[in-house]
Amino acid sequence: MHPHGYVRITAASPPVHVGAPRKNAVEIQVLLQQHVESDIVLFPELSLTGYTAADLFGQQQLLDAAMDALQQIVTASAGRDQLIVVGLPVSVADSLYNCAAAIDNGRLLGIVPKQFLPNYKEFYEARWFRAADGGEPATIEIENEPIPFGIDLLFRSGDAVVGIEICEDLWTPNPPSGLMAVAGSNILLNLSASTETVGKASWRTDLVKSQSGRCIAAYAYAGAGPTESTTDVVFGAHCMVAENGAILSHSRRVGDGQPAWQGATSATVDVDIQKLGHDRRTIGSFDDARSTLPRRYRKIDFSLAQTPDRALQRDIAPRPFVPSDPDTLADRCSEIFEIQSAGLAQRIRQLPQNMPLFIGVSGGLDSTLALVVAAKMCQRYDWPTSRIHGITMPGFGTTDQTRESADRLMQQLGVTRETIDIRPLCLQAFQSLQHQPLGIDAENRDVETLQLQLVQTPNDAQDLVFENIQARIRTFLLMSRGFVLGTGDLSEQALGWSTYNGDHMSMYNVNTSVPKTLVRFLVRFAGDHHFDESVRSTLHQIADAVISPELMPPTEEGAIRQSTEATIGAYELHDFFLFHFIRNGYTPDKILWLAKQAKFSEPYDDKTLADTMQTFFKRFFANQFKRTCVPDGPKVGSVSLSPRGDWRMPSDADPDAWRR
Q: Nearest Cα to 349, choosing from 385, 381, 376, 313?
A: 381
Mean pLDDT along residues 9-26? 98
Does residue 659 register a pLDDT over 90? no
The binding site for L-glutamine consists of: 120, 194, 200
Whether 30 is covered by a domain: the verdict is yes
Looking at the fold, whether 217 and 365 belong to one and the same domain comes out as no
Whether 575 is covered by a domain: the verdict is yes
State the pLDDT at residue 353.
85
State the pLDDT at residue 557.
87
C-alpha distances in Å from residue 202, one per residue of 56, 240, 251, 324, 482: 32, 12, 14, 22, 52
Whether 511 is covered by a domain: the verdict is yes
- Summarised one tens digit per residue, pLDDT across range 223-236 is 999 999 999 999 99
Nearest-angstrom CA–CA distance, 554 and 407? 19
Given 268, 301, 334, the domain boundary residue is 301
Whether 317 is covered by a domain: the verdict is no
- Summarised one tens digit per residue, pLDDT across range 262-310 is 889 999 999 999 999 999 999 988 888 887 788 899 999 999 999 998 9
C-alpha distances in Å from residue 18, one per residue of 24, 224, 227, 575: 8, 11, 8, 53
Looking at the fold, whether 342 and 296 belong to one and the same domain comes out as no
**Catalytic, out of 45, 136, 196, 243:** 45
Given 301, 334, 351, the domain boundary residue is 301
Q: Residue 275, class by beta-carbon neighbours within 10 Å (0-12 exposed, 13-18 middle, 19+ buried)?
A: buried
Whether 1 is covered by a domain: the verdict is no
* DSSP conformational letter for 602: S
Whether 227 is covered by a domain: the verdict is yes
Nearest-angstrom CA–CA distance, 457 and 455? 6
Q: Which is more confidently placed, 555 or 9? A: 9
Q: Contact 72/249 with Cβ under 8 angstroms?
A: no
Model confidence at 194, pLDDT cuts 50, 70, 90, reads very high
Looking at the fold, whether 284 and 332 belong to one and the same domain comes out as no
Looking at the fold, whether 266 and 227 belong to one and the same domain comes out as yes
Nearest-angstrom CA–CA distance, 46 and 384? 66
- Return left, alpha or beta for 357; rule: phi > 0 is left, psi -120 to 50 is alpha, else beta: beta
Residue 114 a catalytic site member:
yes
Looking at the fold, whether 264 and 360 belong to one and the same domain comes out as no
- Summarised one tens digit per residue, pLDDT across range 481-536 is 999 999 999 999 999 999 999 999 999 999 999 999 999 999 999 999 988 899 99
Q: Residue 197, class by beta-carbon neighbours within 10 Å (0-12 exposed, 13-18 middle, 19+ buried)?
A: middle
Nearest-angstrom CA–CA distance, 396 and 461? 14
Nearest-angstrom CA–CA distance, 588 and 261? 44
State the pLDDT at residue 290.
82
Looking at the fold, whether 141 and 61 belong to one and the same domain comes out as yes
Does residue 579 register a pLDDT over 90? yes
Residue 45 a catalytic site member:
yes
State which residues form the domain around 76: 6-301
Which helix (H) or strand (E) segment is 324 a member of? Answer: none
Looking at the fold, whether 274 and 348 belong to one and the same domain comes out as no
- Summarised one tens digit per residue, pLDDT across range 466-494 is 999 999 999 999 999 999 999 999 999 99
- Summarised one tens digit per residue, pLDDT across range 353-370 is 889 999 999 999 999 999
Nearest-angstrom CA–CA distance, 520 and 570? 14
Looking at the fold, whether 359 and 280 belong to one and the same domain comes out as no
Residue 467 a catalytic site member:
no
**Catalytic, out of 27, 114, 168, 209:** 114
The binding site for deamido-NAD(+) consists of: 468, 492, 497-500, 626
Looking at the fold, whether 268 and 346 belong to one and the same domain comes out as no
DSSP per position, 73-141: HHHHTTT---EEEEEEEEEETTEEEEEEEEEETTEEEEEEE-S----STT--GGGT-----S-S-SEEE
Does residue 207 register a pLDDT over 90? yes
Looking at the fold, whether 414 and 293 belong to one and the same domain comes out as no
Query: Percent of the chain scored above 90 by pLDDT?
Result: 92
Looking at the fold, whether 21 and 105 belong to one and the same domain comes out as yes
Question: Where is average pLDDT lowest: 93-102, 409-418, 527-536, 583-592?
Answer: 527-536
- Summarised one tens digit per residue, pLDDT across range 400-458 is 999 999 999 999 999 999 999 999 999 999 999 999 999 999 999 999 999 999 999 99
Model confidence at 213, pLDDT cuts 50, 70, 90, reads very high
Q: What is the CATH number of the domain that holds 420?
A: 3.40.50.620
Mean pLDDT along residues 156-174? 97
Whether 456 is covered by a domain: the verdict is yes
Nearest-angstrom CA–CA distance, 271 and 274? 9
Mean of pLDDT over the chain: 95
Q: Contact 177/297 with Cβ under 8 angstroms?
A: no
The binding site consists of: 120, 194, 200, 360-367, 468, 487, 492, 497-500, 626
Given 301, 318, 343, the domain boundary residue is 301
| Count: domains in the chain | 2
Whether 315 is covered by a domain: the verdict is no
Q: What is the CATH number of the domain that holds 95?
A: 3.60.110.10
**Catalytic, out of 27, 125, 136, 167:** 167
Looking at the fold, whether 12 and 110 belong to one and the same domain comes out as yes
